[in-house]
């Protein structure tokens, strides 16, 4: 029976960068990524922008009333009209 010792490919890189700052490690792996996987590294800013837009869309949808406004013109009802009790008041400031 043979024992196989597998290590991550970046283990040697971590030994090289041991004791350096986080920023130095990020720069090193960013440059190494451009050499090894340039397509993924080039699409990273697009993914980050897309995640930001999606996050803002979810935030906006949860914090605002997005029900469609069916009537743009005001309607006038009689005070004794039975539909007056069904009117719901919504304000843009709520």
Give the pLDDT confidence of 11-65 residue by residue, as tens digits. Answer: 777 777 888 899 998 899 999 999 999 999 999 999 999 999 999 999 999 998 7
Half-sphere exposure of 91 (CA within 13 A, CB side): 2
User: Is residue 30 assigned to a domain?
Assistant: yes
Range of the domain at 57: 9-86
User: Is residue 52 assigned to a domain?
Assistant: yes
Q: Per the structure, how many domains does the chain have? A: 1
Q: CA nearest 36: which of 15, 7, 16, 13? A: 13
Average pLDDT over residues 68-82: 77
Average pLDDT over residues 68-79: 75
User: Is residue 32 assigned to a domain?
Assistant: yes
Q: Which residue has the tokens 């006038």?
A: 76
User: Is residue 93 assigned to a domain?
Assistant: no
Instruction: Give the Cα separation of 25 and 34 in Å (integer).
Output: 14
Instruction: Give the Cα separation of 25 and 48 in Å (integer).
Output: 20
pLDDT at position 38? 94
User: Is residue 91 assigned to a domain?
Assistant: no
User: Is residue 70 assigned to a domain?
Assistant: yes
Confidence (pTM): 0.52
């Amino acid at each position: 029976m043979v024992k196989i010792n597998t290590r991550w490919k970046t283990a040697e890189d971590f030994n090289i960068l041991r004791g350096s700052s986080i920023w130095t490690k990020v720069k090193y792996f960013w440059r190494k990524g451009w050499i090894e996987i340039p397509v993924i590294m080039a699409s990273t800013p697009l993914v980050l922008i897309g995640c930001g837009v999606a996050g803002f869309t979810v935030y906006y949808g949860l914090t605002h009333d997005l029900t469609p406004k069916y009537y743009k013109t005001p309607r006038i009802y009689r005070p004794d009209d039975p539909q007056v009790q069904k009117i719901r008041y919504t304000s843009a400031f709520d």
